[in-house]
Every structure is written in C-alpha cells, then in structure tokens.
Amino acid sequence: MQIFIDSADLAEIKEAVAIGVVDGCTTNPSLLAKVGRKLEALIPEICEVVNGPVSAEVVATDCDGILKEGRALAKLHKNVVVKVPLIVEGLKAVRVFSKEGIKTNVTLCFSPTQAMLAAKAGATYISPFVGRLDDLAQDGMELIQQIVTIYDNYDYDTQVLVASVRNPVHVTNAALIGAHCATIPFSVIKQLASHPLTDSGLAKFLADAKKNAGAV
Ligand code: E4P
C-alpha cells in the first residue's frame, strides 16, 4: 500500500520522507491555514522534497472556477494532483481534467455512490474520509470495503486513497481491505513504526550488552 503524508508542514514532511516510506503528500486548506502558508508557494517546495504525487486543493466550487484554479495548480509541478471536492460541479471539472491529462484527487467522499461517480468522471484518486465517519459513530472502514468492491466489480482505474486517518488500526484495515493508498498524519506514521514491546525489548538487550561488555 502506498503511504502519503497528510501535511502542509514542510519540516515534518522532510522528516517523514527521510524515513524512506513516503510515496506522496496530500494537503488541504485547513492544513495550509495551520502553518500559515500559501498553496502556490508551498506546493513547489513540497514537490522538491516528495518524489511522488502531491495533492493541491482548489477552493472554487463552480466548474469553470475549479478548472481555472486546477490548471494553474497543475502547472506548478509535474507531480501535482488537483484536489477537487465531491460535488456535482467538481465531477464536471474532473471529467475535463481527465481528458486534459491532469490528475485529480476527489476529496470529501463519504458514500459509495459518490465514489462510483468520481470513478465514472475519471478521477485518479478518491479520498474517503474514514475518521470523520467514525466521529459520527459510522463505520469509516466499511465505506472503504464498499468502494474497493465496487471498483473491483467494474474494473474502475480510480485509486482508493484512504483519508482522515486517525490511528494505526485505520492503516492496518485499509491494507487488509486492499486500498491502494492511505494519507496519514506524521504522528500516525511514527506510531506505525513503534511498539512498547520493541522499546522494552531493546532496552533490555542494550542493558545486557553493557553488562556483558567485558566478556571474552
Ligand atoms: C485528506 O486528503 C484530507 O486532507 C485529510 O485526510 C482530512 O483529515 P481530517 O479529517 O483529520 O481533517
């Protein structure tokens, strides 16, 4: 499964990329606001660091506006993926982008039928938000299973990019279901690599190695 970092924080993106497990990056207007950066300025900087797809989200909500913004974003770097909201105007724009060879990530997906329409429009990625569904006492991973099944049934090319990931269990389940990718906050990427038994086991090994330092 491909791992994307869900962040607009260049320092943490660099740290995550240095681990060697990051295949791409996703941003959104809220993540940009958190770091106080402008999309057009930040995206080329992220593209210098991340060797893979980098999602940049439009803020227009009408088809013409989405097309204008998306075309400008796509010109920033060859790895830019234009992130489009899953609304009717967004679907119209995705179809045009698809014909123009501009990659898209259709975001804010919360139902299997939304995902089906995004695939029919020619989306490169669909982003179902599992954490936000879980927050409403719905089952985010059930949505992933439904989308993967529908896409398999009809051989849709759109890749399932699990989003709004909150914990390592989301990542494990996304991989078990066979989602193509997950976009994960840096805090959760670090959790993926850690286990308390690894830490206590390592501490014991290091202590024993020290005790045995004088051995022949
Ligand atoms: C992904 O593309 C979204 O930007 C992100 O995963 C949303 O996550 P949140 O629900 O934690 O804000």
pTM above 0.85, yes or no: yes
Q: Is 36 left (phi over 0), alpha (psi -120 to 50) or beta?
A: left
Amino acid 162: pLDDT: 98
> Residue 83 catalytic?
yes
Per residue in 153-171, pLDDT tens?
999 999 999 999 999 999 9
Which atom of ligand 1 is the closest one to the Cα of 132?
A: 10
Amino acid 48: pLDDT: 98
- Cβ contacts of 59 within 8 Å, gap of 6 or more: 29, 69
List the Cα angle 73/77/81 in 5-degree steps. 55
Choose the catalytic residue: 38, 68, 83, 99: 83
Amino acid 214: pLDDT: 95
Ligand 1 proximity of 125 Cβ (cutoff 6 Å): no
Q: What average pLDDT does the segment 111-126 reach? A: 98
pLDDT category of residue 82 using cuts at 50, 70 and 90: very high
Distance (angstroms) between ligand 1 centre and the Cα of 163 equals 5
All structural domains of the chain with their residue ranges:
2-214
Mean pLDDT of the chain: 98
Q: What average pLDDT does the segment 66-93 reach? A: 98
pLDDT category of residue 115 using cuts at 50, 70 and 90: very high
Architecture of domain 2-214: Alpha-Beta Barrel (3.20)
- Cβ contacts of 58 within 8 Å, gap of 6 or more: 65, 66, 69, 70, 73, 82, 83, 84, 85
